[in-house]
Amino acid sequence: MTLTHFAIIAVCAYLFGSLSFAIIVSKVTLGKDIRNYGSGNAGLTNFYRTFGGPLTLVVILCDVLKAVAAVLVAVFVARHFGVHETAIPMVKYWSGLFCLLGHMFPCMFHFKGG
C-alpha cells in the first residue's frame, strides 16, 4: 500500500466521520440546530437531553452506519487500487481510526464534534 493509497483512504474515512448526524437529524426532522440548545455541543448526550429518546436512536444508528460505510468503502477502494489482501485488515483499522477522528473533530464544524 503506497502513501497515496493510504491518503485517499484516510481522507474518505475522515469525511465519512465528519458527517454529524446529530446536526443532520435535528435540522431535517425538527428544523432546529442541536448546537443552539442545551450545552451547545452536537454530542449524543446533549441531543438526548434536548430532543428525547426516539430520535436519539436514529442518531446512534446513523453514526454506527457511517463507520461501517467508511470501512466498506475503504476496503473497496483498497481492492480497486490492487492493495494486497494481507493489507486489508490494516486498511480496516486505519479507516476506522480516521472515521473516529472525523467524528470527534469534523472540519465542517470547526473541529468541534460529538
According to the model, what pLDDT value does residue 81 have? 87
Round to whole Å and give the CA distance between 12 and 17: 9
Half-sphere exposure in the Cβ direction for 99 (13 Å, CA): 21
Q: Write out pLDDT tens, residues 24-81.
A: 999 999 999 999 999 888 889 999 999 988 999 999 999 999 999 999 999 999 999 8
Q: What angle do CA 70, 71, 76 make, to 5 degrees?
A: 100
The model carries a pTM of: 0.86
pLDDT of 1: 65
Between the alpha carbon of residue 41 and those of residues 13, 57, 80, 83, the distances in Å are 22, 18, 38, 39
